[in-house]
Amino acid sequence: DIQMTQSPSSLSASVGDRVTITCQASQDISNYLNWYQQKPGKAPKLLIYDASNLQTGVPSRFSGSGSGTDFTFTISSLQPEDIATYYCQQYDNLPGTFGQGTKVEIK
Amino acid sequence: EVQLVESGGGLVQPGGSLRLSCSASGFTFSGYAVHWVRQAPGKGLEYVSAISSNGGSTYYADSVKGRFTISRDNSKNTLYLQMSSLRAEDTAVFYCVKGRGSGRTPSLDYWGQGTLVTVSS
């Protein structure tokens, strides 16, 4: 199975800050990577697909980049409603393994 | 609007069985693969199983292979997960998830609200 290493596991930032999360795959996955947001008690929501494409209806402050093994997810200006856990997931191979998650909190 | 509604979760004893269902609406169910992803309490996401749009191709994670069976009824827009020989480590919220394509490729878009399965004596 492909291993996805996500970091950091948690972060605390102020409203308006730029937030960056990284995800590293154990092998080349091209751009077959999604990013999801999960708010407490809710189901995950797709934010970014194919590493850098914004899902319909998702605010433009969210973005993704990368290819191969190294990927980055960015919130350009953190908002209070962005408090959540964020997960990367590769879909190059079954099983579609997830990163461990990054919990984002407001400082 | 895409909707996925899971049902069938509950408390079951170790070694027991349970069948989860997922009722889909808002999209052409027969045109897309569907998947099961689970989340143990306080833990991350674990990919469990997939079935292609026509039901001809399935996939199971090693942790559930031989114990779980995925199936679908495209005439009823419904996905199923038959679970047997349940273990305490199967305790989780099980999510039904729509795939972005018709094959088993695990690119996921819309998620149901989840159904909790608790395996305990």
Both structure tokens of B67: 């114990």
**A57 to chain B, closest Cα gap in Å:** 13
Contact call for B44 and A49, based on CB within 8 A: no
Can you tell me the distance from the alpha carbon of B113 to that of A24, in angstroms, rounded to the nearest whole number?
Answer: 28
* Confidence (pLDDT) at B103: 83
Residues of B in contact with A42 (CB under 8 A): 113
Mean of pLDDT values over A73-98: 97
Tens-place pLDDT, residues B1-50: 999 999 999 999 999 999 999 999 999 999 999 999 999 999 999 999 99
Do B115 and A104 touch, CB atoms closer than 8 A? no
Percent of chain B with pLDDT over 70: 100
Contact call for B108 and A96, based on CB within 8 A: yes
Residues of A in contact with B44 (CB under 8 A): 87, 98-101
Contact call for B61 and A95, based on CB within 8 A: yes
String of DSSP letters for A4-69:
EEEE-SEEEE-TT--EEEEEEESS--TT-EEEEEE-TTS--EEEEETTTEEPTT--TTEEEEEETT
* Confidence (pLDDT) at A100: 98
Burial B78-89 (b: 16+ CB within 10 A, else e): bbbbebeebeee
Tens-place pLDDT, residues A14-31: 999 999 999 999 999 999
Cα→Cα distances B98→A17, B42, B93, Å = 33, 23, 16
Tokens 């942790």 appear where? B63
Strands A102-106 and A10-13: parallel
In what side-by-side order are the strands of the sheet with B78-83? B3-7, B18-25, B78-83, B68-73
User: Three-class SS of residue A101?
Assistant: coil
> Is A67 exposed, middle or buried, given 0-12, 13-18 or 19+ CB atoms closer than 10 A?
middle
Contact call for A49 and B107, based on CB within 8 A: yes
Q: What is the DSSP letter of A71?
A: E
Query: Which of A34, A38, A97 is closest, CB to CB, to B108?
Result: A34
Tokens 């997810």 appear where? A73
Tens-place pLDDT, residues B52-101: 999 999 999 999 999 999 999 999 999 999 999 999 999 999 999 999 98
User: Three-class SS of residue B99?
Assistant: strand
